Amino acid sequence: MKKSLLAAALCGAFTMSAHAQSSVTLYGLIDTGLVYTNNQLGHSNWQLGSSSTQNTVFGLKGSEDLGAGLHAIFKLEQGFLLNNGAQAFSGSAFGSQAWVGLQSDPYGTLTFGRQFDVMNDLVGPISSSFNTWGGSIAAHPFENDNLAANSVVINNSVKYASPLYHGVTFETMYSFSNKAGDFANNRSYGFGLSYAQGPLNLAAGYLQLNNAGNGTGAVTTGDTSANFIAERQRIWSLGGNYTFGAATVGLLWSHTQIDNVAGVFSFGTGSYLGATDSSAGTLAGSLRLDNYEVNAKYALTPALSVSGAYTFTHGAYNGSSPGWNTAMLQTDYAVSKRTDFYLEGVYQNVHGAPADSVLSHAMINTLSPSSTNTQVAVTVGMRHAF
C-alpha cells in the first residue's frame, strides 16, 4: 500500500513538473475607432475603423522546456477587422504569424514559417509608425520601408535571432520562393542589428524582396502583404532614440529602391486611377524613396502621454522629384494596464510628382487615396489587450 502511494505521489510530481515546463497562452489586441478623412476618392468620409494604430489580432503562443537551456516555441496569430469580422490577411487562417522553432539561451533562436522581417523587428521600434503612440496610420508613404506595425508578413521564412550580448542583438532571415525551377522568383532576405544600453537604442537593417506578389512565394498580393509590385525592392534603414526622463526622442532614415515597379497598393477600400481591387494605382519604371523621420513621446503622467512625428520623404521617379510631408500628433490616456483611449491626427502633402500619377495623390496609410495632393485624417479610438 505504501509503495502504491509512493508511486502515485511520484507520478503526480512528474506530471506537475511537466506542466510547469510547458505553457500555451491565448492573447490578443483589439484596436478600433472612428476615423474622419477630409478626402478619400474625392469625398470626405466618416468610418468605423480597425487597426488604425496596431493590428487587431488574437493568437496562441507556447513554449516547452527541453532542458539544457533549450525551448521549443511556436506562435499562431490571426489578424482581423473588428468592424466586420473579416480576415486582415485574406484567405489566411493565421495570416499575422504562423511559426515554430527552437530557442537556446546561449545560442539564440531559430524559427520557421510566416514571420515579420528582421528589419521590422529591430529598426521598427524606433519609428513612430511601429509603436502604439503613432501606429500604422502614421506610416511613411505607401509603407515603402516596412517599418509600420507588422503590416508586411513574409512566407516560407527561416529566421535566426542572436541572444543579447552586451546590448547587441543580430537577426537574419531567408524566405524561399517555394517554386520548382524558379528559386530566385519572389524570395526575400535581410538582416538587422540593434544596440540597446540604458537610455540609448540604435538599430540598422537591410531587406530585399525579389518580384513580390508573384504566386505563393515570400510576399504575395493575395493576402495584401505586398505594398509594391516590382522586379526588386531593396530597403536600407538606420536610426536611434534616446530617453530623457519622461521624454523619448528618435531619428530615423530609410532608403527604398524599387526597380521596374508596376503598381502600388493601398489598404483602403475601393479602386482608383483605373486600378482594381485594393490597388491605389499603376506605375512604370524605377522609384527611389528616402524617408527622414524625427519623433518624440512625452509622458505627462503615468497614464497620459503626448507624441508626435514628422517625416519628409524625397522621391525620384522617371525624371521627377516628388516629395511628401507627413506629420502625426497623438494623445493617449490609459485607464488600466490593458485598456487605453487615443486621439490622433495625421496630415500628408505631396508635391513635384507627375500629374495624374498615383504619386501625385496623398494617401495616408490604411486609407484610400485622396483626389488631391493633400489628405487629413483624425481618429479617436480604443485599444484593449488580453
Q: Tens digits of per-residue pLDDT, 265-324?
A: 766 543 334 344 445 678 888 999 999 999 999 999 999 999 999 999 999 999 999 999
Q: Write down the residue that cell numbers 513538473 correspond to.
A: 17
268 vs 279: CA distance, rounded Å = 9
Domain ranges of the chain: 33-57+102-385
Residue with cell 475601393: 270
Q: Contacts for 193-196 with beta carbons within 8 Å, 24 or more apart? A: 193/122, 193/168, 193/169, 194/122, 194/123, 194/168, 194/169, 195/167, 195/168, 195/169, 196/167, 196/169
Q: Provide the pLDDT confidence category of residue 10 given band limits of 50, 70 and 90.
A: very low
Distance in angstroms (rounded) separating the CA atoms of residues 179 and 215:
9
**CATH architecture assigned to 33-57+102-385:** Beta Barrel (2.40)
Q: What's 139's DSSP letter?
A: P
Nearest CA to 123 among 45, 195, 58, 216? 195
Given a contact cutoff of 8 angstroms between Cβ atoms, the answer to whether 171 and 159 are in contact is yes
H-helix or E-strand spanning residue 10: helix 2-21
Mean pLDDT over 352-379 rounds to: 93
- The band of 215, judged by pLDDT with boundaries at 50, 70 and 90, is low
